[in-house]
A and B are shown apart, each in its own frame.
Chain A
Amino acid sequence: MFAMVTQLIVSGVATGFIYGLTAIEYTLIWNSCGLLNFAHTKTIMFSAYLFVGTFLAIMANAYLPAVICTIICIALFGVLIALIIFIPLRNFTRLIAVMATVMLGTVLNEGAVLIWGSAPMSAGGFLDGRVEIGGVVTSLANIYIIVISVLVTIGLRLFMKKTKPGRAMICVAQDKVAASLMGVEVKRSMALSVAISFAICGLLGCLCAPLFRVQQTMVDMVGLKGFAAGVIGGFGNTTGAIAGGLLLGVVENLACMVVPSMYKDVIAFTLLILFLLVKPNGLISVKKD
């Protein structure tokens, strides 16, 4: 019993970090540009294809270089998208930019079929295997996901607090006019935020590749639950995003003990609705006056 609960918690924490990182990734764009990136799930999917279908194939299973190449490519793609969608469209009605990101999602979806074909792929031996720690058996992928996510979250926090470009991003999120009067190049800072957001999508693509079959709809549910994680945690802040993700991941995994696992998604979205009803500001709310 204990082992089973622990195992469910470990895999819940791993899935929770995936949701949390997804929430962070779109929160970054929301904070800097005031827009939601509806193409984010498709970006994660596209990254998974790029990782498995291109880089792993070329590099003959040299995992780390393939992951790094994927992240760099997607981040550069993010800069391009910032320059053609997020920065020029932010001053129009929200709907235009929203439509643009939805369209981007479609382009990525169809692009993936065009480039890699419609047959699903698998990540092969990447993060394959099991580990046993004190009687608790879990997949190697879960351990990697937890460790990498913790490092990324801490790294991102340090970057925001300690470096000049990071502090500029915080200021741009709070007040763009004031930030420019401090000497911040606002558009450059927005492009950087989008690039980091896309880089996280790239990382998520690699991390999700061993969890799911690589296909067009592989992370649609992750995208939705990542969104839910952001709302549960408190929209707009990164600490809340991780907290919301972990809560969601652990609860839906533990729920599998009492209800059939096919109802996992029901549990997750019930939790979302409960939070919207009872605590709409989320676990950790950002004060706004």
Chain B
Amino acid sequence: MLKIRNVNTYYGAIHAIHDIDVEVNEGEIVSVIGANGAGKSTLMKTIMGIVKPKTGTVEFMGEDITSASTAKIVKNGIVYVPEGRYIFPDLSVADNLMMGAYSQRFSAKELNDLMEEMYEMFPRLRERKKQLGGTLSGGEQQMLAIARGMMSRPKLIMFDEPSLGLAPIIVSEVFDTILKIKEEMQIPIVLVEQNAYKALSISNRCYILENGKVTLSGESAKLINDDNVRKAYLAG
């Protein structure tokens, strides 16, 4: 459903990603792993139209979205949960969730049902629904960011480093949630991670980025046993 072909993105004179081809199909988790500065976030920003590629195309459900605005891309159904979460600090948890549904036209009842669904999934958020987003802990903010992303009933959801800076027990919780989103809600997922082992173990397919290029891609189950991958990303 998402097809990225031959994309080259620059930051001024810096060539951030080179000739990237990535594809995401219905019902799968695709992970993108690589070191810091490999171009993972640039790839996400290119898909979202936050930075525009110099060459190449991004196609979503048959529509060319290469030059569409971020708002239009969100309306079309791609949701991006960025690294650093980007919670609105001075809005309450409930208002943050509300904003997640901004791009779609829902009736008051649909909105209520959606909120209820999110509170079922993340009981912590219900306890804190009146609290300001900025006062939540890191793990709670990550949960809020995920729930907020789900509020627009996305067709594809992309997580950028969801485990960054979280305690190990919370990290497992985040990955369980991601798996649940794919299995129960049938939403395809793009997962950008530095935690290569976790990413490989929950994804169906994986792309490995190095210096802005895809150096290896394939089924995660195979990559996890590949010697080169083990050496470079899984520390033996």
Contacts and interface: CB of A to CB of B under 8 A. Distances in A.
Interface of A: 164, 167-168, 170-171, 174-175, 177-186, 286-287, 289
B234 interface: no
B71 interface: yes
Contacts of A178: 82, 86-88
Given A182-B74, A185-B69, A186-B71, 4 more contacts: A164-B102, A182-B99, A183-B75, A183-B102
B100 interface: yes
Closest 7 A/B residue pairs (Cβ): A183-B103, A178-B86, A183-B74, A180-B70, A185-B71, A182-B102, A174-B88
A179 B82 CA distance: 12
A171, A182, A185: most-surrounded residue (chain B CB, <10 A)? A182
- How many chain B residues sit at the interface, stated as a range, is 20 to 34
Given A175-B88, A185-B69, A286-B90, A180 B50 contact: yes
Contacts, number: 61
B214 interface: no
Contact of A181 (B82, B95, B134): B82
Is chain A's binding surface mostly helix, strand, loop or mixed? helix
A178 B134 CA distance: 14
B70 A171 contact: no
Contact of A171 (B71, B74, B88, B134): B88
Contacts of A164: 102
Contacts of B82: 177-178, 181
B170 interface: no
B91 A181 contact: no
A182 B70 CA distance: 9
B218 interface: no
14 contacts: A167-B99, A167-B102, A174-B89, A178-B82, A179-B99, A181-B86, A182-B99, A182-B103, A183-B74, A183-B102, A184-B71, A184-B102, A185-B71, A186-B71
B98 interface: yes
Contact of A175 (B70, B71, B86, B152): B86
B71, B75, B79, B134: most-surrounded residue (chain A CB, <10 A)? B71
Given A171-B91, A174-B90, A180 B71 contact: yes
A10 B75 CA distance: 50
Given A171-B88, A171-B99, A174-B91, A289 B134 contact: yes
A78 to B, nearest CB: 22
B207 interface: no
A164 B98 CA distance: 10
Contacts of B91: 170-171, 174
A180 B74 CA distance: 8
B60 interface: no
Contact of B89 (A180, A183, A186, A289): A289
